[in-house]
Amino acid sequence: MQIEINSEHEQVILATRSFAKSQLENDLTGHDWWHIHRVVQMANHLAHEENANVFICIMTALLHDVADEKLNESKEVGLSKVRHWLDEQPITKVEKEHILEIISTMSYNAGINSPMSTLEGQVVQDADRLDAIGAIAIARTFLYAGWKGHPIHDPQLSPRRTMTPEQYRNEKSSAINHFHEKLLKLKNLINTKSARRIAEERHTYMEDYVKRFYREWAGEL
Ligand code: ADP
Ligand code: NI
């Protein structure tokens, strides 16, 4: 069911791009504009591969972090910001509700959320997760840890393999523990075949990185 983007859709995408950019430009939590840019590129690629609705995938990728809890008073406040924006766009009610439904359910949330209910949701979630696996993901993780005041590593802080969403959000961790607590688990949570191929390769790279990190930490020459 490939729906091609028409010129009206293109205008909406351009305007939404500027809106998302203005909202996320100064972010230091790893949800900055360039993260959005990468997720949009990847969502566009995966949408074509998987025959998903490209317009919905691009719009959702553009807006998915505007509502993030870290950047708003609450998730509800964030979501209403997105809803207000969409209210002003010449799109159908069905399109609007689809975008909002994906954004409100796609977050990692310590891995406990239900699977995405539509193909477009699966595509955008995969695109977001692929940005959390691989070389750029390593950089984002250390940036985020710095922003949170977490160390790169603390041998006394062991990684927790299972965490509740509250622990995941609030407890002190380290950048290197975050690989065990989330990033190395993502490969098995990927929805689509096209994304899985990319995830496998990036996962191996990240695994090698973590092994090497511990070797250097142990003083291996
Ligand atoms: P999502 O956007 O899927 O809800 P998060 O906002 O929890 O996921 O995480 C987005 C990215 O921020 C992660 O992929 C990771 O790079 C970074 N990040 C989140 N939490 C931590 C943490 N505790 N330590 C280091 N990096 C983190
Ligand atoms: Ni994101």
Task: Give residue-wise pLDDT tens across range 3-62.
Answer: 668 889 999 999 999 999 999 988 877 788 999 999 999 999 999 999 999 999 999 999
Answer for the pair 167, 110: CB distance below 8 angstroms, yes or no.
Answer: yes
Q: Ligand 2 centroid vs 57 CA: distance in angstroms?
A: 13
175 lines ligand 1 (CB under 6 A): yes
More confident site: 160 or 133: 133
137 lines ligand 1 (CB under 6 A): yes
Concatenated DSSP letters of 130-180: HTTSSHHHHHHHHHHHHHHT--S--TTSPPPSS--HHHHHHS---HHHHHH
Q: Ligand 1 centroid vs 150 CA: distance in angstroms?
A: 13
Answer for the pair 89, 43: CB distance below 8 angstroms, yes or no.
Answer: no
Q: Ligand 2 centroid vs 105 CA: distance in angstroms?
A: 12
User: What are the distances in angstroms from CA 105 to CA 64, 99, 101, 108?
Assistant: 10, 10, 6, 9
Supply 91's token pair: 């799109």
Residue 190's identity, in one-letter code, is: I
What value, to the nearest 5°, has the Cα angle with vertex 61 and ends 43 and 186? Answer: 65
pLDDT value for 187? 97
What is the C-alpha separation between 119 and 125, in angstroms, rounded? 10
Mean pLDDT, residues 194-200:
98
Q: Ligand 1 centroid vs 109 CA: distance in angstroms?
A: 10
Residue 130's identity, in one-letter code, is: L
39 lines ligand 1 (CB under 6 A): no
pLDDT value for 13? 97
What is the C-alpha separation between 21 and 18, in angstroms, rounded? 5
Pocket test for ligand 1, best of 32, 124, 141, 152 (most atoms within 8 A of CB): 141
What is the C-alpha separation between 194 and 130, in angstroms, rounded? 11
pLDDT value for 158? 81
Which residue lies with its CA nearest to atom 2 of ligand 1? 107
pLDDT value for 119? 98
Domain ranges of the chain: 7-217
Question: Is ipTM strictly over 0.90?
Answer: yes
The domain defined by 7-217 folds into Hypothetical protein af1432 (1.10.3210)
Contacts of 87 (CB under 8 A, 6+ apart): 96
Residue 185 is classified by DSSP as G
Q: pTM here?
A: 0.93
134 lines ligand 1 (CB under 6 A): no
